[in-house]
Chain A
Amino acid sequence: MLSRTADNLFWLARYVERAENTARIVDAANRLAAMPIAYAGESNEWESAVAATGTLGLFKSLGREPTAENVVDFLALSPENPSSIRSCLERARVNARTVRTALTGEMWEAINGAWLGLRDFDRLAGDRLKLNAFLTYVKEASLRFDGSAYRTMLRNDAFFFSGLGSFIERADNTARILDVKYHLLLPEHESVGGGLDFFQWSSILRSVSANTAYHWVYRESVKPWLVADLLVLNEQLPRSLSACYARICEFLDELSLAYGRQGPAQRVARSTRNRLQNATLDEVFQGGLHEFLTELIGENTRLGQAITDQYLA
Chain B
Amino acid sequence: MGVAFDEMGASGDGCRPGYEVLKRWLDSTPPDLLATRRAEAELLFRRIGITFNVYGDDAGEERLIPFDIIPRILTKPEWSILSRGLEQRTKALNAFLADIYSKGEILRAGHVPDDLIYRNPYYRPEMAGLKLAHDIYVMIAGIDIVRVDPETFYVLEDNARTPSGVSYMLENREVMMRLFPDLFAEQRIAPVENYPDALLATLKSVAPRSASSDPTVALLTPGPYNSAFYEHSFLADKLGIELVEGRDLQVRDNVVYMRTTEGPKRVDVLYRRLDDDFLDPLTFRPDSALGVPGLMNAYRAGNITLSNAVGTGVADDKAVYSYMPEIVRFYLGEEPILKNVPTWRCREPDALKYVLDHLPEMVVKEVAGSGGYGMLIGPAADKKSIADFAAKLKANPDDFIAQPTLALSTSPTFVESGIAPRHVDLRPFVLTGGDKVRIVPGGLTRVALKEGSLVVNSSQGGGTKDTWVLDA
Question: Residues of A with Cβ closer than 8 Å to B?
Answer: 1-6, 94, 97-98, 100-101, 108-109, 112, 157, 161, 255, 259, 311-313
Point out the residue from A6, A100, A101, A112 that lies within 8 Å of B261, measured CB to CB: A6
Is the CB–CB distance between A101 and B237 below 8 Å? yes
Interface set, chain B 46-68, CB cutoff 8 A to A: 47, 49
Secondary structure dominating the interface of B: mixed
Please determine whether B236 and A101 come into contact, CB atoms closer than 8 angstroms.
Answer: yes
Q: Are B261 and A1 in contact, CB atoms less than 8 angstroms apart?
A: yes
Contact B49 A94 (CB under 8 A): no
Pair A2/B236 contact, Cβ less than 8 Å = no
User: How far is A211 from B237 in the complex, measured between Cα atoms in Å?
Assistant: 44
Question: Count of A-B contacts with CB under 8 A?
Answer: 45
Q: State the B residues within 8 Å of A (CB).
A: 47, 49, 223-224, 229, 233, 236-237, 242-245, 247-248, 258-262
Interface pair A101/B243, CB less than 8 Å apart:
yes
Q: Which residues of B contact A157 (CB under 8 A)?
A: 261
B260 to chain A, nearest CB (A): 6
Contact residues in A for B233 (Cβ distance below 8 Å): 100-101
Of chain B, the residue at the smallest CB distance from A97 is B224
- Least Cβ–Cβ distance between B71 and chain A, in angstroms: 26
- Can you report 29 residue pairs joining A to B where beta carbons are below 8 Å apart? A1-B260, A1-B261, A2-B244, A2-B259, A2-B261, A3-B248, A3-B259, A3-B260, A3-B261, A4-B244, A4-B245, A4-B248, A4-B259, A6-B261, A97-B224, A97-B229, A98-B223, A100-B49, A100-B233, A100-B237, A101-B233, A101-B236, A101-B237, A109-B47, A112-B49, A157-B261, A161-B261, A255-B261, A311-B261
Indicate if the CB atoms of A4 and B247 lie closer than 8 Å.
yes
Enumerate the 7 nearest inter-chain pairs by beta-carbon distance, A residue then B residue, closest first.
A101-B237, A3-B259, A311-B261, A98-B224, A6-B261, A100-B233, A4-B248
Closest-CB distance, B228 to chain A (whole angstroms): 13
Instruction: Decide: A259 near B261, CB < 8 A? Known: A2-B244, A2-B248, A3-B248.
Output: yes
**B248 close to A94 (CB less than 8 A):** no
Minimum CB–CB distance from B45 to chain A (whole Å) comes to: 14
What is the distance, in angstroms, from A98's C-beta to the closest C-beta of chain B?
Answer: 5
**Which residue in chain A gives the minimum CB-CB distance to B265?**
A2
- Complex interface: chain A residues within 8 A of B260 (CB): 1-3
Residue in A closest to B240 when the chains form the complex, CB atoms: A101
Known: A101-B237, A259-B262, A312-B261. 20 other contacts (CB 8 A): A2-B243, A2-B258, A2-B259, A2-B260, A2-B261, A3-B261, A4-B245, A4-B247, A97-B229, A98-B223, A100-B49, A100-B233, A100-B237, A108-B49, A109-B47, A157-B261, A161-B261, A255-B261, A259-B261, A313-B259
Instruction: Report Cα–Cα, A109/B262, bound state, in Å.
Output: 29
Minimum CB–CB distance for B157 against chain A, Å: 30
